[in-house]
């Protein structure tokens, strides 16, 4: 390939999702020159998760940005409930969490990413390139020394002391690095669709479970963003049965919004999100580090993937800003990020897989009415216990705090 243009920076990050944007923000704030590449032209995409968890909100607070963040339209979810066969069970209560943030912020992810981009662009060392796709790595003597990006102006070579792969579950970077993830397996996929919302509708996130159905509705103001969970590969069968049969199932799942199933005119209104759970055995090689879903694709169970991606980004900045300030980080510096983050990832994935395999998959296959799991009955009887699932989901294992400095005014 002819590469007419070459630029250089200290760190080039592939992917402007939660991991890439937070990492770019923090490194630029610490005075390290960073380019973040995002292959799309904006952040406005439907298939992103919409949850900003207490651990991430705490980090936003540590940056002094929580007040401004809360001015962006969002809902604050203080408890979560599941409706099983028509009966509501309160499952988690965030009001008793330690710290400032006692809620999950439900905010379209593009608003969160735009907020980060807006705040980061005042840093002289932050550079965001939209419509720039990381296509290949540049390696010399076993060291990654940069990457090739495909941009609107053609191919661009970016030389850097460190390449960070934050390009999600289908990461090009990890593939080009020769990394192959261990597939942990997911028996489910998600169909993503919209239903109209009325002013009189309830406000919260609604998870509804009954025999053969698992449906989640997220309030996005004038519409409901809906996730219809199906067995892996189940969308083909649904399509074979035709749109009318699907609308009937949807109406059954959608409860109070049943009469709006006609809003789905054809399968073009339904996107298939393939669920993957995997993990790289090795997140780094000389000159390269993978973080977020690129290092460990998360299941949607618990909606914790964004939080983990953000925690990886915070740990990366905490551990690498100093080595970067001194020069090129060595492999041991990069491995320290994996050493810090691998345990929370493993624990979280183990819980997600257990819920997928023991609760969700059997519920989807069941033809008889479901009984609530014992743990939900226990949480119903002892409300104080609801802080435990709230902590597990909202804060999680080994939450990170920002230790990388603000050197923008230095």
Ligand X SMILES: Cc1cc2nc3c(=O)[nH]c(=O)nc-3n(C[C@H](O)[C@H](O)[C@H](O)COP(=O)(O)OP(=O)(O)OC[C@H]3O[C@@H](n4cnc5c(N)ncnc54)[C@H](O)[C@@H]3O)c2cc1C
Shortest reach from residue 171's CB to ligand X, in Å: 7
Shortest reach from residue 291's CB to ligand X, in Å: 7
Would strands 154-159 and 188-196 be described as parallel, antiparallel, or unpaired? unpaired
Contact assessment for residue 333 and residue 319, using Cβ atoms and an 8 Å cutoff: yes
Site string for ligand X, 110-149 (x = CB under 6 A): -----------------------xx---------------
Number of residues located near ligand X, criterion CB under 6 A: 36
Question: Which residues lie closer than 8 Å to 271 by C-beta, 6 or more apart?
Answer: 46, 47, 191, 192, 193
For ligand X, the binding residue among 50, 93, 161, 400 (CB under 6 A) is 50
- What length is written for the chain? 410
Contact assessment for residue 120 and residue 28, using Cβ atoms and an 8 Å cutoff: yes
For ligand X, the binding residue among 54, 108, 181, 305 (CB under 6 A) is 305
For ligand X, the binding residue among 10, 29, 39, 197 (CB under 6 A) is 39
Stretch of 38-46, 152-160, 319-327, 383-391 contacting ligand X, by CB under 6 A:
38-46
Determine, following the binding rule CB under 6 A, whether residue 273 of this chain makes contact with ligand X. yes
For ligand X, the binding residue among 168, 181, 207, 396 (CB under 6 A) is 168
Ramachandran area for residue 293 (φ above 0: left; ψ -120 to 50: alpha; else beta) = alpha
Q: In 3D, which of 50, 68, 72 has the Cα closest to residue 60?
A: 68
Number of continuous H segments (helices) and E segments (strands) in the chain: 12, 22
Q: What is the largest CA-CA distance in the chain?
A: 67
Three-state SS at 391: helix
Shortest reach from residue 200's CB to ligand X, in Å: 25
DSSP 332-349: HHHHHHHHHHHHHHHHHH
For ligand X, the binding residue among 58, 172, 210, 338 (CB under 6 A) is 172
Contact assessment for residue 205 and residue 74, using Cβ atoms and an 8 Å cutoff: no
For ligand X, the binding residue among 31, 207, 300, 329 (CB under 6 A) is 300
Stretch of 35-43, 234-242, 258-266, 330-338 contacting ligand X, by CB under 6 A:
35-43
Strand order, beta sheet including 288-290: 126-130, 34-38, 11-14, 162-165, 288-290, 284-285
For ligand X, the binding residue among 84, 275, 319, 390 (CB under 6 A) is 275
Q: What distance in Å separates the CA atoms of residue 148 and residue 334, rounded to the nearest whole number?
A: 21
- Binding residues for ligand X restricted to 232-261, rule: CB under 6 A: none
Site string for ligand X, 306-325 (x = CB under 6 A): xx-x----------------
Determine, following the binding rule CB under 6 A, whether residue 28 of this chain makes contact with ligand X. no
Shortest reach from residue 197's CB to ligand X, in Å: 18
Stretch of 93-101, 163-171, 236-244, 321-329 contacting ligand X, by CB under 6 A:
163-171
Determine, following the binding rule CB under 6 A, whether residue 56 of this chain makes contact with ligand X. no
Structure tokens, 115? 């907020």
- Binding residues for ligand X restricted to 6-25, rule: CB under 6 A: 14-20
Stretch of 95-103, 264-272, 299-307, 395-403 contacting ligand X, by CB under 6 A:
299-307
For ligand X, the binding residue among 104, 166, 205, 320 (CB under 6 A) is 166
Strand order, beta sheet including 143-151: 5-8, 154-159, 143-151, 133-140
DSSP 236-299: HHHHHH-HHHHHHHHHHHTGGGGGGGGG--SGGG-EEEE---EE-S--EETTEEE-GGGTSPPP
Catalog residues that contact ligand X under the rule CB under 6 A: 14-20, 37-40, 48-51, 133-134, 166-169, 172, 190, 273, 275, 292-294, 298, 300, 303-307, 309
């Amino acid at each position: 390939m002819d590469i007419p243009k070459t630029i250089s920076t200290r760190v080039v990050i592939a992917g402007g999702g939660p991991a890439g944007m937070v990492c770019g923000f923090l490194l630029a704030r610490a005075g390290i020159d960073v380019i973040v590449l995002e292959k799309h032209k904006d952040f406005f995409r439907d298939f992103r998760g919409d949850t900003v968890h207490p651990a991430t909100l705490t980090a936003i607070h540590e940056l002094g940005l929580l007040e401004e963040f809360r001015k962006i339209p969002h809902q604050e979810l203080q408890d979560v409930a599941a409706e099983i066969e028509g009966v509501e069970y309160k499952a988690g209560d965030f009001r008793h969490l330690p710290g400032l943030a006692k809620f999950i912020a439900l905010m379209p992810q593009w608003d969160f990413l735009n907020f980060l981009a807006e705040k980061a662009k005042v840093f002289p060392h932050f550079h965001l390139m939209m419509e720039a796709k990381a296509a290949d790595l540049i390696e010399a003597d076993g060291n990654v020394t940069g990457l090739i990006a495909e941009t609107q102006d053609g191919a661009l070579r970016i030389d850097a002391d460190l390449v960070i792969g934050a390009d999600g579950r289908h990461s090009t970077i990890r593939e080009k690095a020769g990394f192959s993830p261990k597939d942990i397996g997911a028996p489910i996929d998600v169909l993503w669709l919209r239903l109209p919302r009325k002013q009189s509708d309830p406000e919260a996130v609604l998870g509804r479970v009954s025999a053969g159905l698992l449906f989640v509705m997220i309030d996005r103001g004038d519409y409901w963003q809906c996730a219809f969970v199906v067995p892996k590969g189940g969308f083909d069968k649904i399509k074979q049965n035709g749109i009318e049969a699907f609308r009937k199932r949807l109406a059954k799942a959608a409860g109070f919004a049943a009469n709006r199933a006609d809003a789905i005119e054809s399968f073009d209104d339904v996107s298939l999100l393939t669920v993957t759970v995997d993990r790289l055995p090795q997140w780094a090689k000389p000159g390269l580090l993978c973080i977020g879903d690129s290092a460990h694709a998360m299941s949607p169970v618990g909606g914790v993937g964004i939080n983990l991606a953000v925690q990886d980004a915070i740990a990366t900045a905490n551990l690498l800003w100093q080595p970067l300030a001194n020069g090129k980080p060595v492999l041991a510096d990069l491995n320290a990020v994996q050493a810090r983050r691998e345990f929370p990832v493993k624990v979280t994935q183990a819980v997600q897989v257990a819920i997928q395999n023991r609760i969700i998959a059997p519920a989807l296959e069941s033809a008889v009415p479901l009984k609530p799991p014992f743990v939900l009955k226990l949480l119903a009887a002892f409300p104080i216990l609801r802080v435990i699932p709230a902590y597990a989901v909202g804060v999680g294992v080994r939450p990170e705090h920002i230790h990388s400095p603000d050197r923008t005014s230095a």
